[in-house]
Amino acid sequence: MSMFDEDVRRAGTNCVKWDGREKIFGREDAIPLWVADMDFRSPGCVKRALLERVEHGVFGYPFDMTGAKQIVCEWEKKRHGLNIENEMVLFSPGVVDSLYFAVQAFSEKGDSVALQPPVYGPFLHAIEDTGRKPFFNPLKLSGGKWRMDLNQLEDGLKQGVKLLLLCSPHNPVGRIWTREELTEVSALCRRYGCRIVTDEIHADFELPGNRHIPMLNIDPEAICFVSSTKTFNLAGLRCSSMLFGKGEDRDTMDRLMNSIGIGEINILGVLAQSTAYAEGAPWLDELLLYLDETRRTVEIEMAEKMPSVGVSRLEGTYLMWLDMKCFGMSQRELEEFIVKEAGVALSSGTSFCPHGEGFMRMNIATPRKNVLIAIDRMSVAFKKISTL
């Protein structure tokens, strides 16, 4: 057995994924394969570092983050080939926070900001909540693969889109954009003076055979957000990193964050991040192999038991995008059926902005047996209605 097969009891630990089932889905025994955190213990090195720090017993204000920023730079260089200096790094509580900050720092109220649905819901929230206008540049499914529609994006750029929020790797469709794709979208945006902000929180989830390319390696004017919290399952510790190619952009962001009172970082969060980046690579390498095997298993099981469901090929992240339009249900009917009849909690496609209707997202970062039981339950439930 892999260490990732361990059944870690999370119910009763005040975690939304497990303890929120009754309130959110109306069924506390549903298998939770929805919100994007993992059911795996974080690396042992992180636990040891935190225990040692907690034993000290004093948790005052942190002083110098230079070393912590340098560790981020070393991780990005070693893992993704990105050369960046530590003075071009800012810390933020989280990537969602950073999306809100970026929209405010690099556009004005009333400006159009592009996003590529189906995409992580907070992209749209960050645009609308700050008084900007969304320009939807939907992804296209072509030849069984999701792709960017650059012709339609250019229409928006001609109309004055100021900012593109890019998800790379993409949540929920699981694509890792190629160098060629990133180069094309960068050249197009630069032609029209549109800035690119990339959410690269899933950058470290490169399944075997795929390679994440940091947008800053393509476009030195891009602004990129990364985080150890997704990679090493540290979300509750609230620590992420913002990477800049231009010093003036870093300064603009720094001023914006200070103006709204975002200053000190979580002292335990930055310790966990630094430790994970410095010592956690072997744990991550083993995790990626485990996730890839689960991905293959899902493809096989779905093809055998639910062959009419479309399963987007997972290149990065641990989130599988399922096309369930074959059942002819409305989105609400589909969501309720899967919970009530199958006892499985998935993320609704419509929570990923427009163009997610008929889809569900499945989180496979859990012991493999949970995923297999969930597929069996859904298969049995849908077979009952297909034979009526």
User: 245-274 pLDDT, tens per residue?
Assistant: 999 999 999 999 999 988 778 999 999 999
Per-domain residue ranges of the chain: 3-42+282-386, 46-279
pLDDT single digits (tens) 182-233: 999 999 999 999 999 999 999 999 999 999 999 999 999 999 999 999 999 9
pLDDT single digits (tens) 2-36: 999 999 999 999 999 999 999 999 999 999 999 99
Positive or negative, the CA dihedral 182, 222, 237, 52 is positive
Q: How confident is the model at residue 1 (pLDDT cuts 50, 70, 90)?
A: confident
The secondary structure element, H or E, covering residue 316 is none
pLDDT greater than 60 at residue 331: yes
Q: What is the DSSP secondary-structure string of 234-279?
A: -GGG--EEEEESSHHHHHHHHHHHHHTT--PPPHHHHHHHHHHHHH
Task: Give how far Cα 20 sits from Cα of 17, 23, 39, Å.
Answer: 6, 5, 15
Q: What is the dihedral of CA 17, 20, 26, 30, to 10 degrees?
A: 30
Q: Which residue has the higher pLDDT, 143 or 118?
A: 118
What CA–CA distance (Å, rounded) separates 8 from 250? Answer: 40
Query: CATH for 46-279?
Result: 3.40.640.10
Q: Which two tokens stand for residue 38?
A: 């993992």
Report the top-level CATH class of 3-42+282-386.
alpha beta
Q: Tell me what the pLDDT averaged over the chain comes to.
A: 96
Burial class of residue 14 (count of CB atoms within 10 Å of its CB; 0-12, 13-18, 19+): exposed
The secondary structure element, H or E, covering residue 22 is helix 21-25
State CA 48 to chain mean position distance. 27
Structure-token match 């955190």, residue found: 37
What CA–CA distance (Å, rounded) separates 335 from 355? Answer: 16
pTM for the whole structure: 0.95
The answer to whether the bond into 117 is cis (omega within 30° of 0) is no
Task: Give how far Cα 5 sits from Cα of 19, 226, 346, Å.
Answer: 21, 27, 20
pLDDT single digits (tens) 66-114: 999 999 999 999 999 999 999 999 999 999 999 999 999 999 999 999 9
Task: Give how far Cα 166 sits from Cα of 49, 123, 224, Å.
Answer: 34, 9, 9
